[in-house]
Structure 1
């Protein structure tokens, strides 16, 4: 099963993904790193200090990674006699363009700004990301691209606390109990008043 962990930069995707890897042993593809390492982009935007991802190249490369992972999982299951679901997490602010199931991590924009300041982001990038979070940009895109969308508020919470929510969502999906995940149905967070 392929699950996206997406959200505006600074919402906790990488921290939670590392914990998922460690605690659950699930494969995590750090998509932004993969894009840069394997040059899966069409151009470099010098002004914004970023790259323009080539989604076709990314999908092609991920297909290969997932096939390899599927083979490794099948071999491990054969040796251990396990019948567990193979879980792969795609971690990126672009994950919702690739997966059918996505968990969108959210953060109150003023807190998000503080997190991005600590990372050394430029004022322009901080404001751009805070505004995107204020208007639910990634959440709206997730609805457009994905079949199942869940939302987790990371405001004032540690990565470990957020991890508990993410694990619960995935475990309930695996158990077929999605109807019990009402607290993660998008729409409860409204930060439009925090637009700079």
Structure 2
């Protein structure tokens, strides 16, 4: 079983997956991978985007790194681009998302771009296009604690939650 946990930066996916790993709620055969750490550590990039101030990920190299790995929950804002049995999309109200990114000292332009992406369902749309609605699970994280989000992810992993693509909307933000 491969479970991707994805979402716009600031939606709470990394924190929730850290809580998931610490809580020990996953079957002991499951491992947790922070894909961005792997990308950095293994230098799975093709260059640097000066405008966005971020590395350009080598998707083929990441796919090769993931190949053959089973019983894994892997997390990143890019996780939905890779083969998975289930895809969790963490969602957060764009205003809250902007606040969270401001606390991380992200530039105003980056905060606005991410908030707009969240309102427009960019990650969700990509996840559904790649994996289909029957493998995508949305979690509205805005008002949930990281522990509660971790429990929702565990429910997805354990098969106790139904797919739910298209259940969260922040279009009023636009």
Query: Cα distance, 1:125 vs. partner?
Result: 0.7
Return 5+ residue gaps in structure 1 as ranges: 71-86
Q: Which residue of 2 is the match for residue 80 of structure 1?
A: none
- Is 1:192 matched with 2:168? no
Tell me the secondary structure at the aligned position of residue 139 of structure 2. strand
Query: Cα distance, 1:13 vs. partner?
Result: 1.0
Tell me the secondary structure at the aligned position of residue 20 of structure 1. helix
Quick one: distance in 2 between partners of 1:105 and 1:30?
Answer: 15
Task: Name which one, 1 or 2, has greater alpha-carbon Rg.
Answer: 1
Q: Which residue of 2 is the match for residue 131 of structure 1?
A: 116
Q: Which residue of 1 is the match for residue 82 of structure 2?
A: 98
Q: Which has the higher helix share?
A: 1
Quick one: distance in 1 between partners of 2:52 and 2:11?
Answer: 20
Quick one: distance in 2 between partners of 1:129 and 1:54?
Answer: 21
Matched residues, number? 167
Aligned residues of 2:5 and 2:13 also touching (Cα < 8 A): yes
Query: Cα distance, 1:152 vs. partner?
Result: 0.3
Runs of 4+ more than 6 Å apart: none
Q: Which residue of 1 is the match for residue 151 of structure 2?
A: 164
When the two chains are superposed, the root-mean-square deviation of aligned CA atoms in Å is: 1.5
Query: Cα distance, 1:159 vs. partner?
Result: 0.2
- Is 1:54 matched with 2:58? yes
Return 5+ residue gaps in structure 2 as ranges: none
Q: Which residue of 1 is the match for residue 43 of structure 2?
A: 39
Quick one: distance in 1 between partners of 2:80 and 2:64?
Answer: 16
Query: Cα distance, 1:20 vs. partner?
Result: 1.7
Aligned residues of 2:20 and 2:147 also touching (Cα < 8 A): no
Query: Cα distance, 1:99 vs. partner?
Result: 2.7
Quick one: distance in 1 between partners of 2:76 and 2:106?
Answer: 17
Q: Which residue of 2 is the match for residue 18 of structure 1?
A: 18
Quick one: distance in 2 between partners of 1:114 and 1:107?
Answer: 11
Quick one: distance in 1 between partners of 2:38 and 2:109?
Answer: 25
Q: Which residue of 1 is the match for residue 96 of structure 2?
A: 111
Aligned residues of 2:98 and 2:112 also touching (Cα < 8 A): yes
